Amino acid sequence: MKSKKNPKVDLKKNSSLYFVIGLCLILFLTWQAIEWKSYDKSLYDYEALDVENDEDEEIPITEQIKTPPPPPPPPAAPVVIEIVEDEEDVEETVIESTETDEEEIIEVEDVEIEEEYDDVDVPFAVIEDVPIFPGCEKVKKSKRRDCFQEQMNKHIRKNFRYPEIAQEMGIQGRVYVNFVIGKDGNISNIRMRGPDKNLENEANRIISKLPKMTPGKQRGKAVRVPFSIPITFKLQ
């Protein structure tokens, strides 16, 4: 007769599952046993701080040590002055006073200061006595400056000639002429500055024909007087 087995009570059916669960449980217990640590409670006992005892603690008072001051320096030795008696007699020199009495009056002669104008050029605008152009001798001293200018312009108009080469080339302009009226009244040091050499030569020729003048004077002495005038060349 064949025995009948209930499939629900068959232990071999889930044996592998039970084996795995048991194995996991054993491994977990083994790991816990390895990781288990025990501590000594005596090492972690904490003592409560007694604050009241700290407040009553006395702080020692430190005393500052005072160093004694250094001793005063020894007094300087007194200087002994030895007096030597002079054996030789010294002659006293009497210095007489150079001051004069109040009643004595020293007369000082007048000193004449001579101003030298030998090598000094006095400009025409500031000279005391302007050079006298011939024809202005009888004019008042205050009018001689104007007379000089008028006679100078007449001389330029009278002797003026326009250079032919400058006319042909259409050259025109103004030539500035500077010259000096010497202490002897003669004209010297003629200098020109203009737009063309031909115009400058004509201006030189005109000024060179100036007559001899009465020299200008400063403090009553004849001096050199520089003078400048422009000459205009203009084509009609």
Enter the DSSP assignment of 146.
H
**DSSP β-bridge partners for residue 230:** 176
Q: How far apart are CA 222 and CA 116, in angstroms?
A: 10
pLDDT higher than 70, residue 117 = no
| Helix or strand holding residue 194 (H, E) | none
Enter the DSSP assignment of 109.
P
Higher pLDDT among residues 207 and 118, named by residue: 207
pLDDT higher than 90, residue 115 = no
pLDDT at position 48: 47
Determine whether 203 is exposed, middle or buried from the number of CB atoms within 10 Å of its CB (0-12, 13-18, 19+): buried
pLDDT higher than 60, residue 209 = yes
Under the banding of pLDDT at 50, 70 and 90, the label for residue 122 is very high
pLDDT higher than 70, residue 107 = no
Per residue in 158-193, pLDDT tens? Answer: 999 999 999 999 999 999 999 999 999 999 999 999
Which residues fall within 8 angstroms of residue 232, CB to CB, at 6 or more apart?
A: 173, 174, 175
Q: How far apart are CA 188 and CA 207, in angstroms?
A: 10
pLDDT higher than 90, residue 156 = yes
Per residue in 50-99, pLDDT tens? Answer: 545 555 556 656 656 667 777 777 776 665 555 555 555 556 665 565 55
Q: What is the CATH number of domain 141-233?
A: 3.30.1150
**Contact status, residue 113 vs residue 205, Cβ threshold 8 Å:** no
pLDDT, the chain, mean: 78
Which residues fall within 8 angstroms of residue 22, CB to CB, at 6 or more apart?
A: none
pLDDT at position 19: 85
